[in-house]
């Protein structure tokens, strides 16, 4: 049989034919497509005509297209539906792909042709998008070592290959550690405080393993509610310690040495390329531009939030002591007592709202929001292959009926899936080619007697990832490398985070909040409690998020190889945000996949940076109406459709008419008095 990965998929919308792709097809496909890609590059280099935009820059954009599709497909599976075979293939393929990439960016003859076109830019006429592609292509060569010579060039190859391998290993280790722990309970006494839905899910998991009792895991839909509701302090501590020591157990899945190697290699790579630190290297391609600006931004937010965060924690501690806690408030106590204080203060907790957020109804409301704002229509289809039975597939159509995108949604946790939630693509949009977009989540599973009932946080997560999906689905550009979410990292969260704002809007909540048993619309009094409690513990939440950004910047502001102790280093970096007693034996960085197995190294601050943008942008909807078509159309045309075709600040000002202000964020977070 012909390997289906070697040619355009002959399926509806050219979607991956998952049901006919065997695991043994991947390795030979990668090898063949890498050779094909090399052929495309050689033909550009050997073209005897004078280099120009079409035969050099556009030809590079098109080179290795099928390899890109297969890479996206394979590595998406490695995150969402992996196994030991796929992980083994990934370990073999990753260095091959890194070498292939280096062969392109370090190709002197190819760079000479690109530079020839770039040097003639001033005397040529280009569209805005063409000029951006030319600039980005030239910069990419420089940033990926094209100016390096001799030993430096060889060293760059070695470093990038090793970083690729280490990043992959970090993720595998973290998944193994997450899957490797289970809290197996066998008595009712151990279940004190736990809601029925969580008990049912834990019982079903135990039964699936042919065990009595209940099994709780470190996957979010199990871990988070356990920490919020378990009245057994000893068991909360056990769960917390298991979660907070992932990658820090001095076993075969330990991540400390990987971190030390990665940050040291990133320093070495940055210096090879002429940068002071890895942060300087990364931020050259971010809105913030340099580490000093990031650190000033983080400090500004810390100054505005630390005292409020400290008061938040004190309020929980006082409440805890009034309700029987005899010892200092520890990290494993905080979620439990914070949730109880929230219930007392607002008459609200996750279990009170959960019956109103049935997944299917929330899905309908999220899709309906896209329909109200942008005219989109979502039609579920069984005609498109999927990689797991639980995945749902939709065809997305524009208001004029034209086809826009294929959209995959994968809602529930399983051992083969990494934790967290993310948006990705199987194919990005370009020219007339429409995208194939996916969101992958770890939401609360349905049980034998209940459908999937989401926490309010899961509702917000759905909106967040769907915002990323809209950025991919509505992209309308000529070149794939500039489409959708291919934008600066500190801008990419704007389309996702702005969507979260609708979760606290009364009109939208009335549409999605319907009791799964009675059909009762969520009561006005409960909606008001959701709105009133939106800023509950916001100071603490802000400080916590800033601590992640600060440790990220600390790791990537190193100027020399790191030989110290990982835990000591991170504790020093996060000390200014500390609101709890130190917990010996724990580590944060060993589970920080965003920066060691994701694209957020020296960029995690971007979540807070984009909050400034999204709060400022949503003010336009608040001023004009949360479903205002004109505002939505402007956001679509100037932000969602444009991808990375212009500088993010240009796009933002085209939408808003001015640069963003930090005040809407401080006001929304309750930090501006």
Tokens in use for 610? 């984009």
Residue 323 main-chain phi, psi, to 5 deg: -115, 35
Place of tokens 């990965």: 5
Is residue 465 part of the annotated active site? The answer reads: yes
Angle between helices 334-346 and 233-243 (to 10 degrees): 120
Q: Quick count: other Cβ atoms within 10 Å of Cβ 399?
A: 11
179: CB partners within 8 A, 6+ apart: 217, 415
Q: Which helix (H) or strand (E) holds 282?
A: helix 278-283
With contact defined as beta carbons under 8 Å apart, do 103 and 34 qualify? no
Beta bridge partners of 521: 514
Residue 180 CB burial class (10 angstroms; 0-12, 13-18, ≥19): middle
Angle between helices 196-208 and 220-229 (to 10 degrees): 130
Please, how many CA atoms are within 13 Å of residue 317, restricted to the half-sphere of its CB?
A: 15
DSSP state, residue 441: -
Q: What is the C-alpha separation between 562 and 567, in angstroms, rounded?
A: 12
Q: Quick count: other Cβ atoms within 10 Å of Cβ 412?
A: 18
The catalytically annotated residue of 130, 268, 465, 641 is 465
Angle between helices 256-272 and 150-179 (to 10 degrees): 150
Q: Which helix (H) or strand (E) holds 451?
A: none
Looking at 323-410, list the stretches that DSSP marks H as alpha helix, in order from N- to C-terminal side: 334-346, 350-353, 359-374
Tokens in use for 396? 């997305």
Q: What is the C-alpha separation between 117 and 310, in angstroms, rounded?
A: 56
Residue 194 CB burial class (10 angstroms; 0-12, 13-18, ≥19): buried
- 462: nearest Cα among 549, 349, 348, 369: 369
526: CB partners within 8 A, 6+ apart: 348, 352, 353, 356, 513
Residue 491 CB burial class (10 angstroms; 0-12, 13-18, ≥19): buried
First to last CA, the chain: 68
Place of tokens 């992640």: 548
For 344-367, give the secondary structure using H, E and C: HHHCCCHHHHHHHEEHHHHHHHHH
Gyration radius from the chain CA atoms: 25
Please give the positions annotated as active site: 465
């Amino acid at each position: 049989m012909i390997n289906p990965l070697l040619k355009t998929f002959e399926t509806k919308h050219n979607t991956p034919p998952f049901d006919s792709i065997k695991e043994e097809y991947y390795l030979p496909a990668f090898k063949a497509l890498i050779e094909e890609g090399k052929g495309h590059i050689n033909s550009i280099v050997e073209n005897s005509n004078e280099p120009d935009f079409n035969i050099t820059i556009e030809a590079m954009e098109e080179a290795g297209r099928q390899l890109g599709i297969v890479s996206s497909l394979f590595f998406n599976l490695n995150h969402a539906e992996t196994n030991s075979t796929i992980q083994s293939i990934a370990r073999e393929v990753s260095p091959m792909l890194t070498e292939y990439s280096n062969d392109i960016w370090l190709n002197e003859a190819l760079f000479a042709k690109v530079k020839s076109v770039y040097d003639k830019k001033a005397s040529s006429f280009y569209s805005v998008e063409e000029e951006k592609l030319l600039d980005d292509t030239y910069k990419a060569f420089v940033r990926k070592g094209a100016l390096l010579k001799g030993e430096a060039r060889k060293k760059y190859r070695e470093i990038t290959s090793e970083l690729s391998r280490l990043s992959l290993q970090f993720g595998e280790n973290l998944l193994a550690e997450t899957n490797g722990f289970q809290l197996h309970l066998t008595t009712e006494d151990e279940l004190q405080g736990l809601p029925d839905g969580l008990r049912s899910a834990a019982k079903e998991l135990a039964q699936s393993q042919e065990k009595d009792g209940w099994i709780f895991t470190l996957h979010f839909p199990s871990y988070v509610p356990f920490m919020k509701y378990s009245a057994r302090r000893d068991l909360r501590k056990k769960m917390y310690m298991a979660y907070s020591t992932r990658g820090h157990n001095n076993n075969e899945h330990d991540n400390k040495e990987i971190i030390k190697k990665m940050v040291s290699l990133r320093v070495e790579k940055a210096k090879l390329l002429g940068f002071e630190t890895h942060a300087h290297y990364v931020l050259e391609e971010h809105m913030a531009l340099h580490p000093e600006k990031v650190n000033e931004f983080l400090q500004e937010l810390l100054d505005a939030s630390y005292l409020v965060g400290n008061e938040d924690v004190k309020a929980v501690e006082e409440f805890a002591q009034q309700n029987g806690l005899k010892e200092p408030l520890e990290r494993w106590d905080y979620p439990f007592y914070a949730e109880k204080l929230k219930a007392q203060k607002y008459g609200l907790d996750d279990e009170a709202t959960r019956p109103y957020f049935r997944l299917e109804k929330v899905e309908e409301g999220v899709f309906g929001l896209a329909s109200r704002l942008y005219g989109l229509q979502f039609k579920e289809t069984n005609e498109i292959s999927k990689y797991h039975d639980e995945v749902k597939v939709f065809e997305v159509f524009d208001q004029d009926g034209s086809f826009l995108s294929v959209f995959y949604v994968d809602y529930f946790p399983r051992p083969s899936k990494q934790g967290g939630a993310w948006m990705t693509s199987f194919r990005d949009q370009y020219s007339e080619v429409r995208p194939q977009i996916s969101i992958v989540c770890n939401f609360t599973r349905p049980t034998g007697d209940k459908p999937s009932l989401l926490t309010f946080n899961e509702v917000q997560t759905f909106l967040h990832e769907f915002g990323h999906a809209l950025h991919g689905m509505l992209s309308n550009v000529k070149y794939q490398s500039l489409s959708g979410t291919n934008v600066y990292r500190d801008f990419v969260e704007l389309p996702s985070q702005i969507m979260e704002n609708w979760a606290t809007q009364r009109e939208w909540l009335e549409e999605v909040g319907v009791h799964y048993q009675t059909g009762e619309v969520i009561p006005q009094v409960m909606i008001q409690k959701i709105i009133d409690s939106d800023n509950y513990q916001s100071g603490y939440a802000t400080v916590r998020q800033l601590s992640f950004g600060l440790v990220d910047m600390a790791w990537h502001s190193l100027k020399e190889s790191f030989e110290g102790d990982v835990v000591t280093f991170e504790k020093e970096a996060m000390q200014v945000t500390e609101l709890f007693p130190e917990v010996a034996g724990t580590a944060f960085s060993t589970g920080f996949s965003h920066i060691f197995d994701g694209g957020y190294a020296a960029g995690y601050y971007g979540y807070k940076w984009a909050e400034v943008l999204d709060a400022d942008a949503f003010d336009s909807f608040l001023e004009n109406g949360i479903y205002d078509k004109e505002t939505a159309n402007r956001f679509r045309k100037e932000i969602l459709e444009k991808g990375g075709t212009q500088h993010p600040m240009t796009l933002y000002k085209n939408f808003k008419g001015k640069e963003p202000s930090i005040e809407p964020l401080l006001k929304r977070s309750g930090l501006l008095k």
